[in-house]
Amino acid sequence: MPKSLMPVFTFAKIAIRRAFRDKTAIFFIILFPLIFLIIFGGLFSKDNDVSFRVALINQSNSKFAKQFIDDAQKESSLNIDSQSDTLDKAKEKMKRSQLDAAIVLPPDFGTVKRDNKYPTGEAQVIYNQNSSEAGQTLSSVLKEEFNGINSQLVTTQTPFTVKSEQTNEKSLNRFDYTFAGLVGFSIIGLGIFGPVNVFPELKKQGVLRRLKTTPLRVWQFFIANVLSQVSVGLLSIAIMLLVAIGFFHLKLAGNIVELAIFITLGITMILGIGLAIGGWASNERQAAPLANLVVFPMMFLSGTFFPRFLMPEWLQTVSDFLPLTPVIEGIRLIATEGQHLIDLGPQIAMILAWTLVIYLIAFKVFRWE
C-alpha cells in the first residue's frame, strides 16, 4: 500500500468508530431516516386500497335489506361504524370528520311492490361539505353495485357500453415512488449535517489544529471522510431497504450492486457540501444557518417528499440543476424501474460535474481552525 494512503485508511477507521460510539450520530444516521421511512410507509404503502368510514343505518325489515347489510359488512372498501345506528349520531360524527358518509336504507328498501316481481328501493348517501368528494365517490360505487344487482333481476338492452382493458405493465405505488426521496433525505443528513456538526466541534476542541501539525494533507483528510461516510451510509440505507422490502413490500426492480455504486456516487458528492461548510465554518453558529440555507431548497425541490412533476414547469426546470435531483432520480430509476448505470448517463454526468465543482470549493475554503 502506498504510504500516502495509510493515513487515509487510518483516519477512515477512526471516523467510523467515532460514528458508532456517538449515540446522537447513530440516531440521525440510522434511526432518524427509519422514522421517516415508517411514517411514509404507513401512509403510502396501501394507497391503492380505497376505504370509506361510513354509518350503515337500516330502517327496513326486508330480507333483501338484511342481505345487503351482510354483504356490506364483508366489503373491504367500507369501514362501517357499528355505534352510529341512528342518523343523528352519524351526522354528529360527520361534523367531527369521524365519518365520511352515512348510508340509509329507508323502510321500503328491498320490499316487493304489487306491480313488480322483484324487490325495489333507493338507498340514500348522506354527507356534508367537508366530505363531498368521498360521498360522491361512495355514491358512484353503490350505483355500480346496484347496476350489477339490477342486471340480474331485470333484462335490459344497453345500446352504448364501455370496454376496459388492463395493460401488462406494472406501475409504481406511492411508497415505491417515495422511497428514492427518503434515501435522498438520508444522504442529506449523512453528507451535510454530519460534517457540519462534527467539524466545528473538532475545531473547538483543537483536534484539527493538532492534525495540521502532522504530515496529514487536506486531500487525505477528505478521502478518509468520504470512505467513512460512504461505509456508514451504505449500512444505513441497507437497513432502510430491508425494512422497506420486509414491512412495506417495496418492489426492488434494479440490480443491488448498481444501486450501491450509484448511491456511493451520490453520498460522495453531497458529502462535499458538508465538507465545504464544515471546513469553512469556525463554529456552529456559522455552520448551521449556511447548512439550512443549502439543505432546505434541495429537500423540498428535488423530489424528496413529493414528486417534482407536481411543481410548475419553471420550478421543475430550476430543480433540475440542484445537486440532489439527479441522485434521487437515479436511485428511483434503478430501484423501482430496473434501469442500469449505462442508462443513467445524464444523472451520472450531472453528479460528476457537481462533484468537481463542490470539491474545488471545499478545498479552497477548508480551514484547520
Section 226-239 average pLDDT: 90
Amino acid (one-letter) located at 17? R
pLDDT at residue 176, rounded to an integer: 77
pLDDT at residue 142, rounded to an integer: 82
Number of other residues whose CB lies within 10 A of the CB of residue 338: 13
More confident residue, 129 or 71: 71
Lowest-confidence region among 41-50, 66-75, 240-249? 41-50
* Cα–Cα nearest to 56, from 109, 112, 118, 111: 109
More confident residue, 331 or 131: 331
Cβ atoms 268, 226 nearer than 8 A:
yes
Residue 19 clears pLDDT 90, i.e. is over it: no
Q: How many Å apart are CA 21 and CA 230, to the nearest integer?
A: 17
pLDDT band at 340 (very low <50, low <70, confident <90, very high): very high
Number of other residues whose CB lies within 10 A of the CB of residue 255: 16
Residue 47 clears pLDDT 60, i.e. is over it: no
> What grid cell was written down for 106?
329507508
Q: What is the mean pLDDT of the chain?
A: 83
pLDDT at residue 168, rounded to an integer: 46
Residue 263 clears pLDDT 90, i.e. is over it: yes
Cβ atoms 208, 275 nearer than 8 A:
no
DSSP letters, 74-139, are H-TTEEE-TT--SHHHHHHHHHTTS-SEEEEE-TTTTEE-TT-SSEE---EEE--GGGHHHHHHHH
DSSP letters, 139-165, are HHHHHHHHHHHHHHHS----SS-----
Section 114-123 average pLDDT: 79
Cβ atoms 166, 251 nearer than 8 A:
no
Cβ atoms 196, 287 nearer than 8 A:
yes
Q: How many Å apart are CA 7 and CA 323, to the nearest integer?
A: 30
Domain residues of the chain, as ranges? 7-45+173-365, 52-153
Q: What is the dihedral of CA 304, 310, 315, 320, to 10 degrees?
A: 50
Amino acid (one-letter) located at 342? I
Q: How many Å apart are CA 95 and CA 98, to the nearest integer?
A: 8
What letter does residue 274 receive in the DSSP assignment? H
Number of other residues whose CB lies within 10 A of the CB of residue 79: 12
pLDDT at residue 167, rounded to an integer: 45
pLDDT band at 138 (very low <50, low <70, confident <90, very high): confident
User: Which residues touch 306 (CB under 8 Å, ≥6 apart)?
Assistant: 181
pLDDT at residue 171, rounded to an integer: 54
Cβ atoms 341, 266 nearer than 8 A:
no
Share of the chain above pLDDT 90, in %: 19
- Please count the residues of the chain: 369
pLDDT at residue 1, rounded to an integer: 59
pLDDT in tens, 48-58: 556 788 888 88
pLDDT at residue 329, rounded to an integer: 93
Lowest-confidence region among 194-203, 308-317, 358-367? 194-203
Please list the residues that pair with 124 across neighbouring strands.
Answer: 104
pLDDT band at 331 (very low <50, low <70, confident <90, very high): very high
Cβ atoms 354, 327 nearer than 8 A:
no
pLDDT in tens, 142-199: 887 787 777 777 766 666 555 555 444 555 667 777 889 899 999 988 888 878 877 7
Residue 249 clears pLDDT 90, i.e. is over it: no
